[in-house]
Structure 1
Amino acid sequence: MTRQVLALVSLATVIAAFTPAHAQQTVTFRTPSNNIHCMAIIDQGKTQPDDLVCDISKIASRPLRPKPADCEFDWGQRFVLDARGGADMGCYSDWVGSDSSPVLRYGSSLQIGSMNCTSSEQGLECSNRAGRGFFLSRSRQRIF
């Protein structure tokens, strides 16, 4: 092997060592009011995410459910939908929102794997094929 080819092989080995073997695709969106931001991560080799996470910035009432004793972080504004299971609230220390996320316009829907989210002037409703999900708006939140 020539020195140049050996150098390229060595460089390729170094690049491969630092390339994540578990690459991901991130899907984000937000409502036109900019009050609800959602994110789903699709692992490499999969066709759908394991779950969808939506954070609602402002709510007009107390959280839908009381804060669990084992939650050391923020509570009341994160909702999680499992692609194959149910929906629930989540304990969180970060925010999935970004002003650069695309807007899901009122009257529009977005299919992410087996989950579907529909934006309306009343709020955002997300559900999976099992019919489980949540509805989010400033005035009310509901898990079904």
Structure 2
Amino acid sequence: MYKQIIFIAAASAIVNLSLSQASFAAPKGFKTPSGNIFCELMEGEDTSTNSLRCEIASSLKPKPPQPYSGYCEFDWGRGFLLPATSKPEILCISDTIADPNKSVLAYGQTWNNGGFKCVSQKIGVTCTNTNGTGFFLSREKWRVLGISKP
């Protein structure tokens, strides 16, 4: 009996010590306070191959045309995939990253992870990669940032 008590006490002390020394990384994703936008870091081999996926439940407005008829056979225009070093791509998805348990990125707060930066505001979310390329998303509108028009 005493051996069991000593073992339990020792195991408990080790777990408590491990938890107190653990460092917690930034969450790999977030949702906006409205619950309309969800973003998640898609990790690659390193930060240069990471991507950021952001979905908007209300869809992109206005919905952009597909590059050609039949291009996307799934849900077109539900958000963006932002690669680490290039321009955002409009999502054509058959799944979702929307998770009600994701951390909330409060209005006025900034999320930095994997080479991406997102700022949450009441008017929408702005996300950029290390090149300064990115997008703005809101219920009413969207736009691509950091791309020069020819």
Instruction: Give TM class, smaller chain.
Output: 0.7 to 0.9
**How far off its partner does 1:61 sit?**
3.4
Structure-2 change in CA distance of 1:60 and 1:46 (3 Å):
closer
**How far off its partner does 1:39 sit?**
0.9
**How far off its partner does 1:51 sit?**
0.4
**How far off its partner does 1:60 sit?**
7.7
Structure 2 unpaired stretches of 5+: 1-26, 146-150
SS in 1 for 2:35: coil
Deviation string, structure 1 residues 54-101 (Cα, Å, up to 9, x no partner): 0000148331x2124321111111211111111121110111110000
Q: Does residue 136 of structure 2 align to residue 111 of structure 1?
A: no
Q: One-letter code of the match for 1:67?
A: Q
Structure-2 change in CA distance of 1:123 and 1:49 (3 Å):
farther
Equivalent residues in 2 for 1:1-144, closer than 5 Å:
27-43=28-44, 46=46, 50-59=50-59, 61-63=61-63, 65-68=64-67, 69-144=70-145
Taking only the aligned residue pairs, the percentage that are identical comes to 37
Q: Is the 8 A contact 2:47 2:114 kept in 1?
A: yes
Work out the CA distance in 1 between the residues paired with 2:107 and 2:48. Answer: 24
Total equivalences in the alignment:
117
**How far off its partner does 1:31 sit?**
0.3
Work out the CA distance in 1 between the residues paired with 2:41 and 2:57. Answer: 18
SS in 2 for 1:130: coil
Structure 1 unpaired stretches of 5+: 1-25
Structure whose residues are more often helix by fraction = 2
Q: TM-score, normalised by structure 1?
A: 0.74
Structure-2 change in CA distance of 1:124 and 1:51 (3 Å):
same
Q: One-letter code of the match for 1:82?
A: P
Structure-2 change in CA distance of 1:80 and 1:90 (3 Å):
same
Q: One-letter code of the match for 1:52?
A: L
Structure-2 change in CA distance of 1:85 and 1:102 (3 Å):
same
State the superposition RMSD in angstroms: 1.9
